[in-house]
Amino acid sequence: MTDIDFKSFKAQPLDYKNQRNQRLYRLLFGWMTVLLILPVLIILVLLTAKGAPALSWEFFTADPINGMTEGGIFPCLIGTIWIVAVALFASVPLGVACAVYLSEYAPDNTLTRLINLAIINLAGVPSIVHALFGVGAFVMFFDLGTSILAAGLTLAVMTMPVVIVSTRESLQAVPQAFREACWSLGATRSQTIRKVVIPNSVTGILTGVILEVSRTVGETAPIMFTGAALFLPFVPDNFFERLSSQTMAMSLHLFTVSTQVPNVPEELPFGVALVLIGMVLVLNSVSIAFRMYLRGQKKW
């Protein structure tokens, strides 16, 4: 048995100082994280507490009645779904095609860089500017009138950069070796893209799409002037008539009941907000779950 010289293991003043700093910084950054999460939690708790009394089966299936102070939000839900659907069908094919070109075909030259710059700038344009663009381009120039089609297309233009950027990134995440292997087997560039690159990046593309959807659901400004009505409980049956008619939408309805309509029971705007945020949360959770599922299938 030898006595261990514990003294040599004893912490020196410098160690104490480092330990103290360590604890301090852990605490500091820990609290910063908490501070970040706190608003989300407060919003959710507040909305749930104040909005839950408004929720009922009727709230989802009935028209707003009595000066929009009672009844449900059915036409707003349908309207939002339609606008989002139009935006998706317009922006996803175009956005994915654009991303494929930029990632797989475009040479690295000034033009490509300019295009990239334009996309980034487009993503930074405030939504109200997109709204004015939508009024000028779709409502007036293409003469679509204030309609679901015009609103959806405006949102499509607005969210296209999101789709392009996320698609391009997920395309570039596919290892170059996959492409090279495919080419070496004699496959053409377009075969490689269709059979190897896109199937392997579907996860990322879908993430972008769902991100787009959840952003589209909440946008108010771009649809305010291009297609959303403050009050229109009626939704036409005919497909084309519906596309060319105005519609109520969740986000604008929330704005309306909280700023325009007098004598609204307090829980109504909170209920609408809760449903809106619920839609976004559900969409995001589905996207995350879906992505995890797809990731699990991958071997690299």
Partner 1 sequence: MGSLRTCDRTEDTLKGGPRQIHKVLKKADMKAMKLPLLATLAVAATLTSCGGSVNGSSRTILQNKGSDTLVNVAQAWAEEYSKVNPSCAIAVTGGGSGTGISAMINGTVDIANSSRSMKDKEMTMARENGVEPVEFTVGFDALAVYVHKDNPIESITIEQLAMIYGEGGEVEKWSQLGIQMPEGASDEIVRVSRQNNSGTYAYFREAVLGKTGNYKLGSLDMHGSKDVVDLVEKTPSAIGYSGLAYATDHLKLVPVSSGGGAPVEPTVETAIDRTYPIARPLLMYTSGQPTGATKEYMDWILSDVGQQIILKKGYAPVRDL
Tell me whether residue 68 or residue 171 sits nearer to partner 1 (CB atom): 68
Binding window for partner 1 (CB under 8 A); candidates: 50-58, 114-122, 153-161, 177-185:
177-185
Least distance in angstroms from the C-beta of 232 to partner 1: 4
Q: Which two tokens stand for residue 111?
A: 């033009």
Q: Which two tokens stand for residue 231?
A: 């009050």
Interface of this chain with partner 1, residues 258 to 287, rule: CB under 8 A: 259-262
Q: How far apart, in Å, are the Cα atoms of 71 and each of 28, 63, 65, 278?
A: 48, 6, 5, 19
Tell me whether residue 115 or residue 230 sits nearer to partner 1 (CB atom): 230
Contact status: 294 vs partner 1 (CB under 8 A): yes
DSSP string, 167-223: HHHHHHTS-HHHHHHHHHTT--HHHHIIIIIHHHHHHHHHHHHHHHHHHHHH--HHH
Least distance in angstroms from the C-beta of 14 to partner 1: 52
Contact status: 62 vs partner 1 (CB under 8 A): no
Angle at 68 between CA 66 and CA 72, to 5 degrees: 100
Helix (H, G, I), strand (E, B) or coil at 126: coil
Interface of this chain with partner 1, residues 137 to 156, rule: CB under 8 A: 139-140, 145-146
Q: Which two tokens stand for residue 51?
A: 């909005």
Chain residues that interact with partner 1, rule: CB under 8 A? 65-68, 78, 81-82, 85, 88, 139-140, 145-146, 178, 181-182, 185-187, 191, 194-196, 198-200, 202, 206, 224-225, 228-239, 241-242, 245-246, 256, 259-262, 290, 294, 297-300
